[in-house]
Amino acid sequence: MGDEFSNNSSGTKRENIMKFRLGIFKLIAAIISWHRKNLIISASIDLESETITIWFADFKWVRLGLEWFSNPNCGYCADFDDMEIIDNGNTLRLGEFEAASDCIRDVLDERRNS
């Protein structure tokens, strides 16, 4: 996979949750990184509640509605069956749709500051 984080899916139909996380070496590298607050280390999608929970390397997390990843103006639709953490944790890819980790982190910081 080159520089992309590994995609270890452990979701089941019974739980209706899909989980993705880093391999151990990439996880350690992210945790000790000086910009760990913006690196995604894990994400899970809960189709029943229509939410995605994203964890950062500083162990803070944010839960967003799936609609947050839908922007009809960008020309790409988020594909929640094809999720991957790429660009060394700087991007969450959902099919052809990509969300930068710093944009997602801004939502977390806004919520904590309000």
What's the pLDDT band for 1 if we cut at 50, 70, 90?
A: very low
- pTM for this structure? 0.80
Least confident of 11-20, 36-45, 96-105: 11-20
Write out pLDDT tens, residues 20-70.
788 888 889 999 999 999 999 999 999 899 999 999 999 999 999 998 887
Q: Which residues pair with 99 in a beta bridge?
A: 92
Segment 12-24 shows an average pLDDT of 67
User: What does the alpha-carbon distance between residue 36 and residue 49 come to, in Å, rounded to a whole number?
Assistant: 28
User: What does the alpha-carbon distance between residue 69 and residue 36 come to, in Å, rounded to a whole number?
Assistant: 22
CB count within 10 Å of CB 20 equals: 22
For residue 61, which of 82, 84, 43 has the smallest C-alpha distance?
Answer: 43
Its sign, for the CA torsion 24, 39, 112, 53, is negative
List of residues 6+ apart from 72 with CB closer than 8 A: none
The CATH fold assigned to 17-113 is NE0471 N-terminal domain-like (3.30.2020)
Model pLDDT, residue 20: 77
User: What does the alpha-carbon distance between residue 108 and residue 16 come to, in Å, rounded to a whole number?
Assistant: 24
Domain boundaries defined on the chain: 17-113
Model pLDDT, residue 57: 96
